[in-house]
Each structure stands twice: as C-alpha cells, then as structure tokens.
Structure 1
Amino acid sequence: MDWQSESPRLWAFLKSLHRGDILSGTVAAIERFGVFVTLDDGPDHPTLPGVGFIVIPELSWRHIDAPTDVVQVGQRISCEFLQFDTFNAEARLSLKALQPDPLQAFADRTVIGQELRGRVQKVLLPLGVFVDLEDGVVGLVPFREVHGRPAESPAEVFEVGEEIAVVVTEIERPTRRVFLSTQEGDRHARVVPAT
C-alpha cells in the first residue's frame, strides 16, 4: 500500500516524529509479537489497532513470558519514539527506554572481585547454566568453567532453583556484559542481559 497517498495525515504525523520524542497513548491491542498503542496526538491507523507499536524486547529490561506481564489493554503509557516503520506506517516505540536499565544499576553498585549469590534459572546444553543474579541481570556459567573442568552432565553440577555463589571479574557497560567466575581465579562466566 502506498501509505503516503492513501493516508497523507498518518504519513505526515509519522514523518514529524524524531527519535527520542516521548509519546503517550493507550494500549489498544496485545499480540504475541508486540503491543499496539493508540497515540494521543496521532491519527487513527486505517488497518492496525494503533499507530504505535512496541516489539516484545522493547517492553521491559527484564525477561517476560508474555506482554501482559507488563501492560494491559486500556492501560495508559508513555514511550520513547524509536523509528518510523514506513512499510507498516507505524511508530516503533520503546517502553523500556523510559525505565532504568537494571544492568547499569548493577554495575554502579558492584565491584570487581565481589562475591554474589544467584539462583540457577535454566540449564542450556551445550552452553551452560544461566544464573539470575538480581533484577533482570542473568549470568551464564559455561560448563567448561564448572570446577575448572568440563561438566559431563548439567545435573551433576546444578539444579534449576539452586542458589550458587559467583565472583564478579569484569563489567563492560557499553556492551552490557558482566563476567563472573564460580571460583576465584581466571575461570569466567558471562552475564547476558535479560530479554
């Protein structure tokens, strides 16, 4: 569809937006792939439930099982404008951009060499064990790091729900990575941001 000629008001509204603009609206529909938002200052969309759209990873810094963990239909929200999706003629939005990043807060209060406790979130072959440290920060303990030797079976080392000790060895803010060790020394486990 040629949105520019078919919906000139919609096209003009979307072209007027700039990355970083804060937009308010109401959650119009929730799908498994994202959330449609009716924007306060925007026109109606001729085919979609709302002019704004939030993909699942932009809903929260933390891992969520479903969009309804974060928003409900009819809820009022404010989001940051990311980009104009010209194919669908919609404003791509981020709800998490207006929330504090838990990884940055973690990095602010954590020092290298600090021992932390975390809970085993899941075991993923052949990678290793994901450990929930706190507030959306999840670490990966590779199997090769377990007790300094390859683990023959995840069950021999960790169980989901078990609490374990790790040591912080490096924090990389720009890449949102934190490295951990299950023992003192140079054995590392990488923390990956929650999605």
Structure 2
Amino acid sequence: MDQPIVNREAARTADSPPTGGVPEDPELWAFLRALRPGERLSGAVVAIRRFGVFVALDDGPAHPVYPGVGFIAIPDLSWRRFESASEVVGIGQRVTGEFLYFDSWNGEARLSLRALESDPFQQFADDVPEGAEVAGTVTKVVPFGFFVRVADGVEGLVWREELSVAPTERPQEAVQVGDTVKVTVMRIERDQCRLLLSRSQ
C-alpha cells in the first residue's frame, strides 16, 4: 500500500543520507507498489545505523540513495531489550522480515523481524498466573525500584514500596544489577505489556 510518511526519524547524523524525500524511481516504485503487507522479504544486512537497519533485498532494484531498499526501524528488530541494533543483526547477515508498508518518502520497503516472532510477554502471561513466584535477574536499578528479567524478552518492575526491606532503604542498597532474585507476579497488564512484581519474602 502507498503510505506516505513525514520524514523518517528526523534527527539524522552526518553519516546519514540527507532527508527531504527521494526522487521517484519508476522501476523501484513499481516494485514497492506491488508488495503487499504480510509478505515475507529476504535479503542481507548492508548497513546498521542508530535509527535502523538497511537490507539489500534479494528481489527488486537497488536503491538510488540508500544502502538497501529494505529498512527495519529499531522497534521492529526484536521483542527483547537491546542497546544497539548490532546486538540483534550484523553486517552481511541474512534476514527475513515481514513487509509492513511502502515508505514513499524514502522509497523503502519497511520490514519487521519482530512480526515473525512470537510475543514473549503474551507467552509469559499465558504461562504464568498472577501470584506466582518466579526467579529473575536484576537488569536496572532506579530511584523508584528495580527491573527484573523474568524470561527472555520479559522484564517487570519491583516498586520501591514492594521491597522486602525497610521503606527508607534505597533500592540500590537492596539489590545490584546482575543479582538473581525471587519475585512474585503482582499484576500482568497485557494491553500495556507491563508486569508489576514484588520482592518475595
């Protein structure tokens, strides 16, 4: 489907192509307009940027400006949390993604790797009931509590008030990143993909 967008991730750095829209290339536009949402497209990763990943597709013409016709935005790379796109894919890696839409501003096929994976949060919600006790790893400590990874791609928050320590104690005095802790599942919010936990006594 032809779906114009207003300038991709606005903040581009010096190593990025200039924005402003890509001049229409008849062969490329014909290829992109023939694609349908849900199709699977394969290719090789040719460039990794802070705003996403470019993929040289197996089929179709080359892009006149960008490294590849396929483009995967950061949120569409994976369900799991990561700091850099290079933690998920590497240059030269073969990937298959689901076609989302034709980005007519940049002349690209927007792809998603995540769309072809099952949602780990929903799987966790199916398998683990509220009130269950699970083990996890502390991934981040903040003034209001700490985050615990309870499954691959699933993290929950233990509020400061839910710590099994004195209320005045700071979270960083109770746990450290990397600690293994037992927590109780207090609430699962499927729509928001939010998991609230309590430190088990």
Same fold by TM (over 0.5)?
yes
Matched, 1:44 2:62: yes
The answer as to whether partners of 1:143 and 1:151 remain within 8 angstroms in 2 is no
| Aligned mates of 2:172, 2:186 — CA distance in 1 | 26
Query: What is the CA deviation profile of residues 54-78 of structure 1, one whole-angstrom value per residue up to 9, with x for unaligned ones?
Result: 1122111111232222222222211
The answer as to whether partners of 2:186 and 2:197 remain within 8 angstroms in 1 is yes
Matched, 1:99 2:117: yes
- The CA deviation at 1:176 is 1.8
The answer as to whether partners of 2:187 and 2:197 remain within 8 angstroms in 1 is yes
> Structure 1 residues 42, 150: closer, same or farther in 2, change over 3 A?
farther
Mapping for residues 33-182 of structure 1, pairs under 5 Å: 33-125=51-143, 127-147=144-164, 150-182=167-199
Q: Which runs of 5+ in 1 are unaligned?
A: 185-195
Match of 2:42 in 1: 24
| Aligned mates of 1:82, 1:144 — CA distance in 2 | 42
The answer as to whether partners of 1:151 and 1:157 remain within 8 angstroms in 2 is no
Question: What secondary structure is seen at the aligned counterpart in 1 of 2:182?
Answer: strand
- The CA deviation at 1:152 is 4.2
Letter in 1 for 2:188: I
| Aligned mates of 1:150, 1:10 — CA distance in 2 | 61
**Superposition CA RMSD, Å:** 2.2
> Structure 1 residues 149, 18: closer, same or farther in 2, change over 3 A?
farther
Q: Which runs of 5+ in 2 are unaligned?
A: 1-19
- The CA deviation at 1:51 is 0.6
Question: What secondary structure is seen at the aligned counterpart in 1 of 2:163?
Answer: helix
Match of 2:4 in 1: none
Query: What is the CA deviation profile of residues 153-175 of structure 1, one whole-angstrom value per residue up to 9, with x for unaligned ones?
Result: 22322222222221113323333
- The CA deviation at 1:18 is 2.3
Letter in 2 for 1:145: E
Task: Give the TM-score normalised by structure 1.
Answer: 0.83
- The CA deviation at 1:87 is 1.5
> Structure 1 residues 82, 151: closer, same or farther in 2, change over 3 A?
farther
Question: What secondary structure is seen at the aligned counterpart in 2 of 1:44?
Answer: coil
| Aligned mates of 2:94, 2:86 — CA distance in 1 | 14
The answer as to whether partners of 2:157 and 2:195 remain within 8 angstroms in 1 is no
> Structure 1 residues 73, 2: closer, same or farther in 2, change over 3 A?
closer
Query: What is the CA deviation profile of residues 134-185 of structure 1, one whole-angstrom value per residue up to 9, with x for unaligned ones?
Result: 211111112233248744422322222222221113323333223322258x
Match of 1:187 in 2: none
- The CA deviation at 1:44 is 0.8
Task: Give the TM-score normalised by structure 2.
Answer: 0.80
